[in-house]
């Protein structure tokens, strides 16, 4: 076994133990009976992680060892907290985790090398836009005012999560091809398809009323173009255009106006629109430094509803802050920082532009998503209805993010292989 | 090019880290810096939930009547939640206050909330809570309130049918508040169930005993007399009498325009002769009057243990807009001396003045809290006595007391006379919102005072005096507190 895989195995075991203990604690608090079921689940979780580990060991032996344990820890905490908030949802989320790992294995074993994606960049880009278009078609469903979902019989998926990946792949590939040109001159011929593509997706998002994902798309676009071309002009003008667009949207969209007003002063309408963010703040304050303890806080009211509406999705961070305290919340944020750091390191160590940009884009979009949703919960920004990657309850989000993990692992492995080859070549 | 791509990625990573630092900063703010404030907010259901789980401590009168109890109910998920009960109905409603989710709390429920919810326990108990110890039982508060006196006061007030009024009775030697009643009153149980209905009834939630700003009328002559005696005026001082006293403003007249014969100091107080007191006031000057007021505790909020500070107010001189008159500003001493000019006092303050006179000149710190006990027994805190103000010398107090006895024996306060017990008092009548406000302050027994009382009744038709309306109420309460002629 290679050294990275040894490390990974070790940390996966550690993660598995942590998650098992956490789950068991919640189980105890809920059932007040010491039983093996808490441990059974923990064991299953660890087994799943080890199975994924075996696949990676086979196919990508040189990949970065911290990506999977990081994602695994976040997922495990997520399922534990979902179980704590609404036990009936833990089963579906675990099922989605299994599906995610299966698809991860499929991706890794079938695609093998991410450079394949470069060839299909237009297909992937168009496919992403199409997925978004489907939600505003008759097949789409409106939930909470946003048209985010497509019904697939027993399951519902959020195409926005997958479109996110698709757009990053497309941008990375396109920019790699055209970045020298774009860096020297702003040429409509080369900028054209890019902007067109981007406008289409943005327009769809606006039509879908999903401003959170628009923010992420726009942000990843600006960052990727900046890193690829080195021209600060892009993010600066882009930022200005965003401000103008935001002001326009503020004037025209009552919903956005409401969101911004609640952000600035949730007390103004504390019982109605301000209720959710305020209860989240109260939960955070309740946690203090060390938290109330897993399963101990007042999260579920006597009639079964959660105190914070949507506690298991947008506001899961507030529940974590309540039960695990400042220490736990910062720990969780550190997980994201470390994960992002590893993703950027992978990008930095890659030789070819596509790998670099892809690894960078994927890590950046994940970090931005975490910042946007946690920022909304702590009132750094207005709330945007994003999920906290790996942690929030949601099948599409979990699946998309594990595919992201798969991509990062592939990039990491092939990057390391290349470096090894160079070293051997230099020796030869 | 690749190396600069890396440096640009590093820049972005720095930006991401800055964002996370910003988030952690805000998290620190909400979770640590202002967490306490957030917990106090009325909208906070977290706090409300934890409070429901707590067995709130009992509140009882000194003679063991439970005025605030608790009962358990089952929450839907099997949790036990606790609710307040009021076994004595609305007895001492303004004192105990209400404890209502969403509308916060008042009275003892508020001032002693930490005690009643067991939050004042030592670290060991707190650690026990962290371990998941579900039972939180608050400490019990025993009030200084005497249920007999309280009932008598509330009944007597209700029977007047007046739009407003209050009774405060204090034990002069110890500072115990034996009775504190205010009308209109409310039912704490109703306040919890249907707050809107309760708050819709105007003024029923206001504790007039501590918050009403009444003109003191002739009861203020006690303060003038005290200032005069302290200032060297002899108790045998003679006055010329007459019908009017000239002032820079309108002349001061005696009650009903009557003409007083030449008389002495005792007669002046016994019959509440305005002209003589106006004369005294002018002689003393505003500085001395202010000083005596300060010595009785005017101009400060009384340090009453057991009520929140914002449910009390200071008594004193008022200027424009009802705000306190600033130091050094002139006021009409003649009118102030007879209790008519710009004075606003609370019944509590007048009770404290009377208690001071009864207690040889020393005003003790008033308190509503007799003791705090653990649920399983064991005393957490016992009432401590402390002198708040030394208002007058024992000699002055004795003199004043004698004059006040005369008021009840043969003056305007004869309705307060009790058989077998000598009562010392002073009547008062003032203009308040277009109608009469009637007062009676007293202490008894005059030789060894056990009770000092102040009664104020609003809204009588003019012509009715303190002697007629307020004095009988004082008598009833004193009777009840003394156990009908015997020692309390």
Residues 146-185 of A with CB under 8 A from B: 180
A223 interaction partners in chain B (CB closer than 8 Å): 12
Q: pLDDT band at A125, cuts 50/70/90? A: confident
Long-range contacts of the stretch A87-94 (C-beta < 8 A, 24+): A87/A30, A89/A312, A89/A393, A92/A395, A93/A393, A93/A395, A93/A398, A94/A41, A94/A44, A94/A45
Q: For chain B, list residues whose CB is within 8 angstroms of any CB belonging to chain A.
A: 1-2, 4-6, 8-10, 12-13, 16-17, 19-20, 22-24, 26-28, 30-32, 34-35, 38-39, 41, 43-47, 49-50, 75-77, 79, 81, 130, 132
Are the Cβ atoms of A371 and B20 closer than 8 angstroms? yes
A138-164 pLDDT per residue, tens = 666 666 555 566 666 556 778 888 888
How distant is the Cα of A133 from the closest Cα of chain B, in angstroms?
31
The pLDDT value recorded for residue B334 is: 87
The strand pairing partners of A304, in sequence order, are: none
Q: Which of A287, A364, A380 sits opposite B23 (nearest CB)?
A: A380
Entry field: residues in chain A: 428
Ramachandran sector of residue A148 (left: φ over 0; alpha: ψ -120 to 50; beta: rest): alpha
pLDDT tens digits for A335-371? 999 999 999 999 999 988 899 999 999 999 999 999 9
> In whole angstroms, what is the distance from residue B435 CA to residue B445 CA?
32
Q: Is the ipTM of this complex over 0.90?
A: yes
Give the mean pLDDT of B161-185: 94
Distance CA B413, CA B316 (A): 25
User: What is the separation, in whole angstroms, between the first and last Cα of chain A?
Assistant: 25
pLDDT band at B101 (very low <50, low <70, confident <90, very high): low
Instruction: State chain B's maximal CA–CA distance in angstroms.
Output: 114
Contact in structure between B344 and B336 (CB atoms under 8 Å): no
Q: How far is CA A148 from CA A131, A133, A142, A162, A233, in A?
A: 10, 10, 7, 12, 33
Q: Is residue A346 within 8 Å of A362, Cβ to Cβ? A: no
Using a CB-CB cut-off of 8 Å, the residues of chain B touching A351 are 2
How far is A176 from chain B, CA to nearest CA, in Å?
Answer: 11
Mean pLDDT, rounded, for B116-134: 56
Test A341 with B5 for CB contact under 8 angstroms: no
Calculate how close chain A gets to B20, using CA atoms only, in Å: 7
DSSP B79-127: -EEEEEE-TTTTTTHHHH--B-TTS-B-HHHHHTHHHHTTTT--HHHHH
Left if phi > 0, otherwise alpha if psi is -120 to 50, otherwise beta: which for B360?
A: left
- Do the Cβ atoms of A378 and B30 come within 8 Å? yes
Q: How confident is the model at residue B350 (pLDDT cuts 50, 70, 90)?
A: very high
Nearest CA in chain B to A235: B12
CA distance A138 to chain B (A): 39
Question: CA B227 from chain center: how many Å?
Answer: 24
Q: How many other β-carbons are positioned within 10 Å of the β-carbon of residue B14?
A: 10
pLDDT at A74 exceeding the cut of 80 = yes
Nearest one of B486, B482, B487, B485 to B149, comparing CA atoms: B482
Measured in degrees and rounded to the nearest 5, phi and psi for residue A238 equal -60, -40
Asked whether residue B249 carries a pLDDT value surpassing 90, the answer given is: no
Higher-pLDDT residue of B323 and B311 is B311
Q: Quote the CA–CA distance of A263 and A272 in Å, as a whole number.
A: 14
pLDDT at B132 over 50: no
* Residues contacting residue A116 through CB under 8 Å, at least 6 positions apart: none
Is residue A81 predicted with pLDDT exceeding 60?
yes
As a whole number of angstroms, the distance between CA B63 and CA B91 comes to: 13
Candidates B482, B488, B485, B477; CA nearest to B153 is B477
Give the mean pLDDT of B53-68.
Answer: 91
pLDDT at site A204: 67
Over residues B31-37, the mean pLDDT reads 86
> What is residue A32's predicted lDDT score, i.e. its pLDDT?
65
For residue A38, pLDDT over 90 is answered with: no
d(CA B368, CA B171): 11
Side-chain-side CA neighbours of residue B184 (13 Å): 11
* Three-state secondary structure call for residue A86: coil
**Are B2 and A283 an interchain contact pair (Cβ–Cβ within 8 Å)?**
no
Which active-site residues of B does the annotation give?
A: 218
Q: Model confidence over A176-197: pLDDT tens digits? A: 887 776 666 666 666 676 677 6
Closest CA to A401 of A66, A75, A78: A75
**Contact residues on chain B for A172, CB-CB shorter than 8 A:** none
For residues A299 and A307, give the distance between their C-alpha atoms in angstroms, rounded to a whole number.
5
DSSP A299: -
pLDDT at position B446 over 70 = yes
Question: Which residue from A minimizes the CA distance to B80?
Answer: A302
Contact B259, B241 (CB under 8 A): yes
Mean pLDDT of chain B: 87
**pLDDT for the residue B126:** 46
| Mean pLDDT for all residues in chain A | 84
Q: Which parts of B286-411 are beta strand (E)?
A: 316-317, 343-344, 362-364, 369-373, 379-382, 387-390
Which of B2, B6, B8, B12 to mutate to probe the A interface, most A CBs <10 Å?
Answer: B12
Provide the percentage of residues in chain B whose pLDDT is more than 70: 92
Q: A371 vs B2: CB contact, 8 Å cut-off?
A: no
Which element (helix H / strand E) includes B440?
A: strand B435-444
To probe the interface with B, which of A177, A228, A282 has the most B CB atoms within 10 Å?
A282
- CB contact at 8 A, B58 and B377: no
Q: Which residues of B157-168 are buried (b: 16+ CB within 10 A; e: fewer)?
A: beebebebbbbb
Taking 80 as the threshold, does the pLDDT of residue B402 lie above it? yes
Q: Which of A43-47, A234-238, B58-62 has the lowest mean pLDDT?
A: A234-238
In angstroms, the separation between the Cα of residue B37 and the nearest Cα of chain A is: 9
Strand B369-373 to B140-143 pairing: antiparallel
Task: Count residue pairs from A and B with Cβ separation < 8 A.
Answer: 134
pLDDT in tens, A128-145: 888 877 776 766 666 655
Name every chain B residue with its beta carbon within 8 A of the beta carbon of A285: 30-31, 34-35, 38-39, 46
Count of CB atoms within 10 A of residue A267's CB?
Answer: 10
Per-residue model confidence (pLDDT) at position B127: 45
Question: How would you class A114 by CB atoms within 10 Å of its CB: exposed for 0-12, middle for 13-18, buried for 19 or more?
Answer: buried
Q: Pick from A227, A239, A365, A369 the residue to mutate for testing the B interface (most B CBs within 10 Å).
A: A227
Question: CA B396, CA B468: separation in Å to the nearest integer?
Answer: 28
- Order of strands across the sheet that contains B80-85: B80-85, B66-74, B59-60, B140-143, B369-373, B379-382
3-state secondary structure at position B343: strand
């Amino acid at each position: 076994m290679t050294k990275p895989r040894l490390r990974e195995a070790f940390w996966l075991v550690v993660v598995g133990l942590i998650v098992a203990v956490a789950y068991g604690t919640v189980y105890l608090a809920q059932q007040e009976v010491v039983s093996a079921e808490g441990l059974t689940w923990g064991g299953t979780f660890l087994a799943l992680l080890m199975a994924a580990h075996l696949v990676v060991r086979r196919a990508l032996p040189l990949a970065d060892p911290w990506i999977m344990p990081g994602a695994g820890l976040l997922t495990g905490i997520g399922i534990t907290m979902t179980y704590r908030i609404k036990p009936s949802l833990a089963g579906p989320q675990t099922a989605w985790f299994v599906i995610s790992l299966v698809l991860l294995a499929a991706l890794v074993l079938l695609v093998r090398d991410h450079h394949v994606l470069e060839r299909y960049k237009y297909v992937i880009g168009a496919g992403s836009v199409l997925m978004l278009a489907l939600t505003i078609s008759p097949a789409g469903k409106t939930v909470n005012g946003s048209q985010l979902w497509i019904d697939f019989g027993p399951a519902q998926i959020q195409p926005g999560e997958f479109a996110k990946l698709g757009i990053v792949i497309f941008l990375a590939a396109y920019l790699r091809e055209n970045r020298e040109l774009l860096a020297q001159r702003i040429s409509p011929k080369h900028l054209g398809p890019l902007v067109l593509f981007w406008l289409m997706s943005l327009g769809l998002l606006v039509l879908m009323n999903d401003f959170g994902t628009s923010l992420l798309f726009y942000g990843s676009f600006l960052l990727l173009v900046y890193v690829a071309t080195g021209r600060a002009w892009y993010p600066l003008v882009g930022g200005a255009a965003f401000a103008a667009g935001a002001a326009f949207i503020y004037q025209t969209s009552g919903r956005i106006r409401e969101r911004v007003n609640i952000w600035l002063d949730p007390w103004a309408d504390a019982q109605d629109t301000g209720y959710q963010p305020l209860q989240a703040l109260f939960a955070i304050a309740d946690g203090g430094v060390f938290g109330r303890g897993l399963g101990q806080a007042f999260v579920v009211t006597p009639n079964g509803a959660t105190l914070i509406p949507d506690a298991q999705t947008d506001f899961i961070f507030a529940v974590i802050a309540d039960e695990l305290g400042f220490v736990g919340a910062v720990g969780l944020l550190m997980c994201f920082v470390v994960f992002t750091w590893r993703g950027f390191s992978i990008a930095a160590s890659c030789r070819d532009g596509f790998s670099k940009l892809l690894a960078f884009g994927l890590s950046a979009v994940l970090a931005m998503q975490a910042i946007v949703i946690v920022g909304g919960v702590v009132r750094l920004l207005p709330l945007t209805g994003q999920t906290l990657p790996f942690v929030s309850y949601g099948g599409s989000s979990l699946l998309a993010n594990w595919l992201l993990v798969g991509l990062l692992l592939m990039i990491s492995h092939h990057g390391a292989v290349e470096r090894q080859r160079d070293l051997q070549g230099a020796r030869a | 090019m690749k190396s600069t791509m890396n440096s640009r990625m590093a820049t972005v990573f720095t930006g991401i880290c800055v964002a996370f630092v910003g988030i952690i900063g805000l998290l620190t703010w909400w979770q640590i810096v202002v967490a306490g404030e957030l917990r106090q907010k009325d909208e906070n259901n977290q706090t409300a939930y934890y409070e429901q789980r707590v067995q709130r401590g009992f509140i009882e009168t000194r003679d063991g009547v439970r005025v605030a109890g608790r009962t358990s109910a089952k929450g839907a998920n099997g949790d036990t939640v606790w609710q307040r009960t009021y076994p004595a109905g609305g007895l001492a409603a303004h004192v105990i206050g209400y404890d209502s989710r969403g509308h916060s709390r008042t009275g003892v429920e508020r001032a002693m909330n930490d005690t009643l919810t067991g939050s004042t326990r030592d670290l060991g108990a707190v650690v026990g809570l962290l371990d998941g110890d579900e039972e939180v039982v608050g400490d019990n508060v025993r009030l200084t309130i005497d249920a007999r006196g309280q009932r008598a006061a509330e009944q007597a007030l209700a029977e007047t049918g007046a739009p407003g009024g209050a009774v405060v009775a204090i034990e002069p030697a110890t500072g115990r508040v034996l009775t504190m009643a205010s009308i209109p009153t409310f039912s704490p149980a109703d306040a919890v169930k249907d707050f809107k209905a309760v708050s819709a009834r105007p003024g029923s939630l206001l504790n007039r005993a501590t918050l009403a700003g009444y003109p003191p009328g002739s009861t203020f002559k006690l303060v003038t007399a005290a200032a005069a005696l302290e200032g060297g005026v002899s108790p045998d001082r003679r006055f010329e009498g007459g019908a009017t006293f000239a002032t820079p403003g309108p002349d001061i007249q005696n009650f009903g325009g009557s003409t007083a014969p030449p008389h002495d100091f005792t007669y002046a107080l016994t019959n509440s002769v305005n002209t003589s007191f106006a004369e005294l006031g002018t002689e003393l000057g505003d500085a001395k009057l202010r000083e005596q007021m300060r010595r009785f505790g005017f101009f400060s909020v009384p340090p009453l243990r057991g009520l929140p500070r914002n449910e009390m107010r200071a008594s004193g001189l008022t200027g424009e807009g009802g705000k306190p008159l600033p130091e050094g500003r002139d006021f009409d001493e003649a009118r102030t001396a007879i209790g008519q000019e710009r004075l606003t006092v609370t019944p509590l303050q007048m009770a404290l003045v009377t208690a001071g006179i009864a207690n040889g000149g020393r005003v003790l710190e008033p308190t509503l809290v007799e003791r705090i006990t653990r649920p399983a027994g064991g005393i957490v805190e016992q009432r401590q006595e402390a002198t708040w103000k030394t208002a007058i010398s024992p000699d002055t107090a004795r003199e004043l007391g004698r004059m006040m006895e005369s008021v009840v024996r043969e003056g305007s306060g004869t309705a307060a006379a009790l058989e077998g017990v000598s009562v010392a008092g002073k009547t008062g009548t003032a203009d308040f919102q277009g109608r009469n406000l009637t007062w009676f302050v007293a202490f008894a027994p005059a030789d060894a005072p056990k009770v000092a009382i102040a009664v104020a009744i609003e809204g009588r038709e003019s012509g009715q005096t303190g002697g007629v309306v307020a004095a009988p109420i004082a008598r009833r309460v004193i009777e009840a507190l003394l156990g009908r002629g015997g020692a309390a």
